Structures are given as C-alpha cells and as structure tokens.
Amino acid sequence: MSFRREKFVPQGGPDGGDGGAGADVVVRADPSVATLAAYRDRRRFAAPSGQAGAAALKTGRRGEELVLPVPIGTVVTDAESGALLADLDQAGASVVVAAGGRGGRGNTRFTSSTRQAPRIGELGEPGEKRQVHLELKLIADVGLVGLPNAGKSTLLAALTGAHPKIAAYPFTTLVPNLGVAELDGGRTVAIADVPGLIEGASQGAGLGLDFLRHLERTRVLVHVVDASQGAEAALLALRQVTEELRAFSPTLAAKPTLVALNKVDLPEGAAAAAELVAGGEVLGGIPIAAAVEEGTRELIDAAAQRVWRERAAEASARAAAASAAAIEPQRVYRQRGRGAGGLGEFAVNREDDGTYRVSGAALERAVAMTDLDSEEAVARLQRRMRQAGVDKALRGAGATEGDTVRIGAVEFDWSDEDSPEGERS
C-alpha cells in the first residue's frame, strides 16, 4: 500500500505495485540423472516466493521456479490420492507438482469512483503444497521374462555382451539388468532382464512384484522357456508367466510377444522345441541355445522388427497428438456471477468441538490474501462474505453470537449483525 508523495503533486493518489507471483515446483526428466538417490535423504523442497511490490507502481519480481531433476522413466503420482500426475518417459518432459500462488494486488487496483484513496493491499496467495511419490521404471525395447533359471541372463549376455551374474540356481538375478544389442546398420535395441517370476508374483511372491513394473515400458516381451524340461513343462511355464503378467497388468499381457525355446543344445530341449513348433502349440516360438549363441541372431532380428513397428506407431500417435494440440482451441466465454462477492461455492459444517468450518477454494483464498491488520481490508472481506451468503449459511447451520468460525487457517468470533445485539467483529 503506497501513495504518491512528490513536491508540487498534491493528492498524488495510490501508487502501490502488485507483488510477484510465487515460483512453481517442477519435476523434469534429465538425461544426466541416473537414479532417484538424491531424494532418499532430502524430502522437502520449497520454491521461492515472489518479491513484494513497491511504490511508483513497481511490480515485484516473480519467484524463480524450482526444478527437481529426475531420470527419464520416472512416474510422478500424488502420494495422498494415488492419482497419476505425469509419466516422464522422454528427455525434457516435465510437470508442475506444486504451483506458486499469485502475487497480491497493490492499492492502486482498488480505486474506484467512490474510493479515491484505498488503503487496501492484498497479501500473496499461498502456494500449493503436495506430497508426491517418485517411481523409476526402466525404459527398454525388449523385456525378457520367464521362470527362474530359464536362461534369461545367459540370453542377455549372448545378445548384448552384458555381464549379468549367471549360475545354476534359481533367483541368480536379484536386480534388473540392461543391455544394448547392436544390429546391422548401426541400429540398437535396449533389452531388460528382470528376476524370474514364480506363481503369485503379481501379489508379491518372490521378486516379481518389485520388478514387474519395469516391463510396462517395454515394447516387446520375449518369454524365455526352458525346453529341456519337456514340452508339457514348457507349456505350463509359459501359461504360468502369462497369467502372472495378466494379473499384474492387462496391458502388460497384451504386448507383442515372442517365445524363445531355450536350451535346444540339449537332446531333451531340441526334441521338445521341435514338438512344440511342429504342433503349432507355441505361436512365434524360436528354438535357441543361449549358452552357445545358437538361434540368438534370428531371435533378436525378429524382436527388432516388432520394436520398429511399435516405435513407428508411437511416433505416429505423438505426431497426431501434437497436430491436435496445435489447433487453436475454441474459446468459451462464461459470465461470472454478480452479487455473490466472487467467492464461488462453499460449504458450512459443524465440527466435533462445536466450531463451524466454512470451506470453499475461492473463499479460503480470499481470506488468506486479506491483510487482517487493515480495518478497511477486513471490512471489504466482510462485505464480500455477506454478499456471498456466508452469514446466512452460518445462521442456517445454527451458529450463534460468539461462536468460532474457521475459514482456511483463520479463526473468527462470529457476530450476527441481524440479531438484536449483534455487532460484527
């Protein structure tokens, strides 16, 4: 709140500038960030406030946004409601997780034909507060799935040159492994090997629940089946893994799929693979022997063809979405309700301690931005609340003289001006 004070300028009038808006908190996918470890110990972040307005109609500077860098593939959800806020699957993708409040208005904004020297200056609007959950999902073109000890890690090593831990016992793989296969022409395919699935993995059995989410980003799934256990056991393993995928996510089970019938370098595996392929019981089945790299080139070529098709479809979908976004949306004009104080809808509830809670987004924002130390500002707020029907609603809810009323973080002692002894406080 400020008034122009200059020599030879009598009655200069109000010249208080507006305050700057508060900064936003933004989560952004950054290719240089590999993990979410930076957020393991530090959990609270706050963007700076805007600067105060000043005399001579000077507007305060806006706060500089706070950017929280995360790895590509991070999923951001609201921790309270569980609602998805963003899936940051591309470099530079970002989402505002907490918006800064707008700056308060200077007293120049409140002049009118009947109020030439307003002594009202708004406070800044409180910024948003939110607790979010960050989850990193690996991004790979091909996901290798199968029962424990089916040969997934051996296949990953054969296809990409990666060096995952390989041993002849179940659950050798305890964390997801990533590798990159290079094909003719210099093109590459990223491949993820996740821990083996067992029955009940979609409910948390074994290690499946911890890592099944990483498969949701893959474009193609390769079911690795140990054919050396016989044709019947191979079909049972394939059905079991498929059911676990479907139970975890229907979209995961619907992904394009290839079946790698592994360990055909053993007589039992070769016989079972030949039986399954000849009988048509396994569609898309490719016999391989990952340990000796037999059939692995045919497998990666087939998987790559599926990946190229999925990439092309995704590119077309993104282009269509960008084209639709480029079309200027039709403008819709809505008339604001007059005579209601501009405070929107609200509700009045009596709480267990006998106080009354008045809740409504616009009303709570108006109270928070009112300078309660200014009599003129408080009087203006009271007029707006009266026009909006807050007094009438409180009276209808049973509020009487002297009752405590809470609006946002502020408490009032209510005084009913329509009662014989009522004087507004």
The pLDDT score that the predictor gives to residue 329 is 62
The pLDDT score that the predictor gives to residue 325 is 65
The pLDDT score that the predictor gives to residue 320 is 82
Q: pLDDT by residue (tens digit) across 28-87?
A: 999 888 788 889 889 999 999 999 999 888 999 999 999 999 988 899 999 999 999 998
Distance CA 409, CA 217 (A): 43
What are the structure tokens assigned to 222, written together? 């390769």
Nearest to 368 by CA among 73, 46, 126: 126
The number of beta carbons lying within 10 Å of the beta carbon of residue 141 is 22
What 3-state DSSP class applies to 348? strand
Residues of the chain with pLDDT > 90: what percent?
A: 33
Q: Are residues 223 and 351 in the same domain?
A: no
Domain annotation covers residue 10: no
The pLDDT score that the predictor gives to residue 203 is 45
By the 10 Å C-beta count (0-12 exposed, 13-18 middle, 19+ buried), 339 is classed as exposed
Distance CA 90, CA 197 (A): 29
Q: How far is CA 108 from CA 8, 49, 118, in A?
A: 21, 22, 8
Distance CA 343, CA 152 (A): 61
Query: Looking at residues 226-252, what average pLDDT do you find?
Result: 87
Torsion-angle region of 342 (φ positive above 0: left; ψ -120 to 50: alpha; else: beta): left
Nearest to 149 by CA among 101, 89, 193: 193
The secondary structure of 255-267, three-state, reads: CCEEEEEECCCCH
CA angle, corner 219, sides to 213 and 221, nearest 5?
A: 75
Query: Looking at residues 347-358, what average pLDDT do you find?
Result: 91
Nearest to 196 by CA among 149, 249, 240: 149
Domain annotation covers residue 329: no
Choosing from 108, 136, 164, the residue where a domain stops is 136
Q: How confident is the model at residue 168 (pLDDT cuts 50, 70, 90)?
A: very low
Domain annotation covers residue 334: no
The pLDDT score that the predictor gives to residue 33 is 85
- Cβ atoms of residues 389 and 344 within 8 Å: no
User: Residue 423: is its pLDDT beyond 50?
Assistant: no
Which string of DSSP letters, residue by residue, matches 125-165?
A: PPPP---EEEEE----SEEEE-STTSSHHHHHHHHH-----
423 or 398: which leads in pLDDT:
398
Distance CA 260, CA 193 (A): 14
* Tokens 């821990």 -> residue: 195
**Number of domains, the chain:** 3
Q: Are residues 132 and 146 in the same domain?
A: no
Q: Are residues 171 and 67 in the same domain?
A: no
Query: Looking at residues 176-180, what average pLDDT do you find?
Result: 78
Kindly report the CATH number assigned to the domain that includes residue 243: 3.40.50.300
Query: Looking at residues 204-231, what average pLDDT do you find?
Result: 76
Q: How far is CA 354 from CA 158, 346, 398, 406, in A?
A: 72, 19, 10, 11
Kindly report the CATH number assigned to the domain that includes residue 84: 2.70.210.12
- Cβ atoms of residues 36 and 136 within 8 Å: yes
Q: Are residues 303 and 205 in the same domain?
A: yes
User: Residue 338: is its pLDDT beyond 50?
Assistant: no
Q: Are residues 384 and 246 in the same domain?
A: no
Distance CA 191, CA 181 (A): 7
* Tokens 């049973």 -> residue: 398
Q: Are residues 103 and 150 in the same domain?
A: no
Domain annotation covers residue 18: no
258 or 320: which leads in pLDDT:
258
The secondary structure of 207-223, three-state, reads: CHHHHHHHHHHCCEEEE
Phi, psi of 373 (to 5 degrees): -85, -10
Q: What's the pTM value of the predicted model, to 2 decimals?
A: 0.66
Give the structural domain span for 104: 25-136
Domain annotation covers residue 339: no
Kindly report the CATH number assigned to the domain that includes residue 398: 3.30.300.350
Domain annotation covers residue 381: yes
